[in-house]
Chain A
Amino acid sequence: MADKKIRVLVAKPGLDGHDRGAKVVARALRDAGMEVIYTGLRQTVDQIVEAADSEDVDVVALSLLSGAHNTLFPEVVEGLKAKGMGDVLVIGGGVIPAADIPGLEEAGVKAIFTPGTPTKDIIDFIKANV
């Protein structure tokens, strides 16, 4: 049997137009041997969930710098559960105040990576958790 490749959906929910971080992360994950599906800016929660479903990804990686993470990230987690994709690893990153992180983790986001995170940490986390 061939090695199963890790597939990751890198998605930007909501109206946030900051895409550098998402692109940096996408490239780093590619360079770590993963298949990264990038769907571009301004995705609705439903679009993210549908894309994750069709592409049968192992990880949904959400990037948000606008401040809307407290609503949008948990909605993605719930949407995935409703599709029978509760076992997908959901992680997030961007400008996210430390105070918000426990709440997000409680909601099912497995890890949050804030500005300045070395991409290696993200790669290691994914490899250890899929």
Chain B
Amino acid sequence: MPTVNVNGRDVSARDDWSVLEAAQAAGYEIPTLCKMEGCSPLGACRVCMVEVEGQERLQAACSTPAFEGMVVKTNTPKVREALRTVVELLLSEHEGLCVFCDRDQDCELRQIAGNLGIHANPYEGAKPRRRFDDSVPGIFRDTGKCIKCRRCVQICNDVQGLGAIFPQGRGYDTVIGPAFGRSLSEVTCVQCGQCAAVCPVGAIGERNQIDEVWAALADPRKRVIVQTAPAIRAALGECFGYPPGALVAGKTNAALRRMGFDGVFETNFAADLTIMEEGTELLGRLAAQFRDHTRTHLPLITSCCPGWIAFAESLYPELMPYISTCKSPQQMFGTVAKTYYARSEDIDPADLVVVSVMPCTAKKAEAVRPEMYSSGYQDVDYVITTRELSTMINTLGLDFGELEAEEPDAPFGAATGAADIFANTGGVMEAALRTAHYVVTGRPLPGENLHVKPVAGLAGVKEAGVEFQNCREAWSFLEGVELSVAVAHGLGNARSLVESVRRGEKSYGFVEVMACPGGCIGGGGQPRMTSDEVRLARIKALYSDDEGKPSRASHENPHVQRLYDEFLEEPNSRIAHELLHVHR
């Protein structure tokens, strides 16, 4: 435990701390533009410089280890002057006007410049060549605004294991992007948006659809309905000053009604529906294996994350038969809306506009896939992120904090607790097991409070086993069978899970994968910046939302039951397959 003196204050640092962390412990926030939690320091941006006694040159706080007896000064004329120069140089190469930028409000570069009192640019110089890449539906790249901090490179390479982007060229001419000047559509980018979530400036972001949504709302011929994903309720509040994990589902519904949506729904309904379909698919495959002894594809792998699907399609195509044929809840909702709902409300589906609010940039890409026109129309018309919704709420001038909570509309109504946890890693697994266990044994899932503890939390790959005991007559062939399950979040972790199965070291019956670290609560469209502390707060909130629900398992959702009775017949029926599954 080295003792470090920061600006005259002694703090005891942990052995693995850098000067940055020691300074934080002493109460000083040092600016950073490249350092990211959980990633090794890059030392690329040089805005974290400090004076260390006995050292001639300024040191980068993020990559200088704290040592015993170290004396650090973070706020000397020399530090301020150097920092100012670095930021001024960054601004001189930075192309784009703040007011026209999505990051207007939360740009880290702008904040640092503001804190330094920089109001003019003393270095008018050449700007690098600007390239705007909007070749994919989920995200854009604008190299003119890029400050080459390399956070996106680190996320895409080290966390997601994809390496779609990398610094190309050297020095002033460096461009952060794909090989050979290609655009994102020409390389394996799954549009998870994790790069957009960590970019400190407006150089990578979601492809905005706010204008399209306002236009639809203003069109008198259109009926515009909205669905909100389970991850939104635990994060949107952050845009309005609430701490991470504040539950704001009711306020969100109220805000959406004020915006003029004709129907306000929650994707949670469709999450319950997904569990009915996917749980039935799982039990079908287990029956094939243990009862009929026919060839089947186990493990069943979840399919609700389009980032994961894109990853598997390009890197592990041989896995496709294992992946559930279920569409994601977003897409199930869209299809049901443009068929069942349109019919029961007597609306021409051509005049019905379905908007989704998602934590996710990959969902923007999912909505325009060719399989997603089962209703005869594009099932989901527009997808906006949590961040885009917060902008729209601000446009309207709504005081979010003052809104009274409201319920979602009929006929889809409020969903079960199982749907709440769809947004966090391990949640889809737990939700599916709650229903599958009930179907097989007639009893609720054992485990404290219906939870599957080992698959919760932020470990990269998690495993559990569920044994079926005292099965119902029809499922007696599963008596004593232990279903082993695994959960991975973050595509790097997903890859190691897949590789361990391919090498034959592991075998499972059911696997859940979410592309984003922490699951959708940490999605590429969520309020910035998502640290592990933020992830854990959002996850905790969703589990408590779940625990507070009268129904905790998807098969108990009365609205889903009614949908089957009136329209879909039964899970995995022919019509359910036609509308709710993809046909590969």
Q: Do A and B come from one complex?
A: no
Chain A interfacial positions (CB closer than 8 Å to B): none
